[in-house]
């Protein structure tokens, strides 16, 4: 049976509880919506350097982290002090559940998937 208009407009993908890879606890993340995914794609769009990639990871984490919710400045401070790849793991999970990761063979998240 086809979905109704209300069902389509009311669809939300669920939050995911993520165990941090350093064993320090869990966080709750959610998928990014279309507008947020586009915004991530615009961040440092032509910058393939480590700084551009870090800027995209920080924005993904800021937008998709539900509990605890952190400002972009908080995420940047967390990333600056992160030695175990925890922020990257959070960003990667958010990108994964948002449909932004192309191919299982890639590691990390560099850019959102583009239509061809």
Res 7 pLDDT > 60: yes
Cα(116)–Cα(99) distance, integer angstroms: 15
Cα(46)–Cα(24) distance, integer angstroms: 35
**Mean pLDDT across 10-24:** 84
Pick 43 or 10 by higher pLDDT. 43
Residue closest to 88 by CA, chosen among 100, 73, 75: 75
**Mean pLDDT across 69-81:** 96
Distances (CA, A) of 89 to 9, 12, 65, 86: 30, 23, 12, 5
- For the chain, the structural domain boundaries read 21-97
């Amino acid at each position: 049976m086809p979905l109704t208009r209300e069902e389509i407009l009311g669809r939300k993908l669920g939050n995911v509880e993520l165990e941090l890879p350093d064993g320090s606890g869990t966080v709750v993340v959610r998928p990014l919506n279309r507008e947020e995914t586009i915004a991530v794609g615009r961040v440092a769009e032509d910058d393939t350097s480590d700084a551009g990639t870090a800027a995209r990871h920080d924005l993904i984490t800021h937008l998709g982290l539900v509990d605890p919710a952190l400002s972009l400045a908080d995420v940047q401070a967390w990333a600056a002090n992160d030695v175990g790849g925890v922020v990257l793991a959070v960003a990667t999970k958010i990108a994964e559940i948002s449909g932004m990761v192309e191919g299982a063979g890639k590691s990390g998240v560099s850019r959102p998937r583009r239509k061809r």
